[in-house]
Amino acid sequence: MSLDHKIAEVRALLDSVQRDYAPATFACSFGAEDMVLMDLIAQHYPGITVFTLDTGRLPEETYSLMRDVADRYGIHVPVYFPEPAAVEAYVAQNGPNGFYDSVDLRKKCCHIRKVEPLKRALRGKRAWITGLRRDQAPTRKELAVSEFDAGNGLQKISPLLDWSLSDVWAYIKQFNVPYSALHDRGYTSIGCAPCTRAITPGEEVRAGRWWWEDPEIRECGLQPDKRRVTSTVLAAGADRASGQGKGSKGVEEEEHGALAGAARETIRIDQ
Ligand code: SF4
């Protein structure tokens, strides 16, 4: 199917969301997929609102892109923050980077910084739109383009679910859409700075997220996994020994420099 045909399908779906699910909203994390949806929604769907979550741990590149979006589309995206008291209690009990210590502490951090603010952002809405793609991760294989999100009590729409990574970058190039500078440094997924890294050739696109955990469980709670899986932490000790688990600045800089070219190559091959 051509890119034009895929865009037409997404436009038809967004038409129906704007018509049948008002008020609907788009949760933008400023990754490449979300920039495709931002480009469409900001230009063609005034009835669909946009918001983002600021966890307090975002990379600087995401804030720069928020400014680029304001300049390009003339919109300021509303930002939802975590409850300060919850963040303060978590940090007091577990330290600022307690999420590296166990899956439970990582999920607790994600719950405070993402899941709870998301629930506030979705309050009163009938549908929310995400930039999920099926081939991003094992946890996303069984999703549907439109399905009821029982956890949040509204319809969840994923218009790009069956797009490939090449489709996403073809759209970005064709329409000169702004995107995060991190993508040019080997990041295929954009998230919180301490929990996201560049990937190596051949790794799945979400491999840079919570890389010290089992890939079967790597979700933040915004996108509940439908499968029954066992929570395990893989080689956390080994990662820490190598300096990756704690996100050592020296190691990360060295890694990004070495991997940036390789990851760009991955994207080119995909295209
Ligand atoms: Fe916390 Fe990391 Fe989750 Fe961000 S991605 S909310 S820093 S655990």
Residues of the chain with pLDDT below 70 are 215-271
What does the pLDDT look like over 82-102, one tens digit per residue?
999 999 999 999 999 999 999
What does the pLDDT look like over 232-253, one tens digit per residue?
233 333 333 333 333 332 222 2
Q: What is the pLDDT of residue 263?
A: 33
Q: Half-sphere exposure of 148 toward its Cβ, with a 13 Å CA cutoff? A: 2
251: domain range?
Answer: 3-270
Question: What b-and-e string marks burial along 69-85, b requiring 16 or more CB atoms within 10 Å of the CB?
Answer: beebbeeebeebebeee
Going by C-alpha positions, the residue among 34, 74, 83 that lies closest to residue 54 is 83
The span from the CA of 68 to the CA of 63, in Å, is 9
Q: What is the pLDDT of residue 162?
A: 95
Task: Give the pair of three-digit tokens for residue 84.
Answer: 């300060």
What is the reported pTM? Answer: 0.80
- Total domains present in the chain: 1
Say if ligand 1 is within 6 A of residue 212 CB.
Answer: no
Q: What is the pLDDT of residue 141?
A: 82
Q: What is the pLDDT of residue 200?
A: 86
What does the pLDDT look like over 139-173, one tens digit per residue?
778 899 999 999 999 999 999 999 999 999 999 99
The span from the CA of 78 to the CA of 128, in Å, is 15
Q: How far is the CA of 109 from the centre of ligand 1 (A)?
A: 6
Q: What is the pLDDT of residue 221?
A: 61
Q: What is the pLDDT of residue 249?
A: 29
Q: Beta-carbon neighbour count of residue 14 at 10 Å?
A: 22
Say if ligand 1 is within 6 A of residue 215 CB.
Answer: no
Q: What is the pLDDT of residue 266?
A: 28
Nearest Cα residue to atom 3 of ligand 1: 110
The span from the CA of 210 to the CA of 137, in Å, is 12
CATH label of the domain that carries residue 38 = 3.40.50.620
List active site positions: 220
Say if ligand 1 is within 6 A of residue 69 CB.
Answer: no
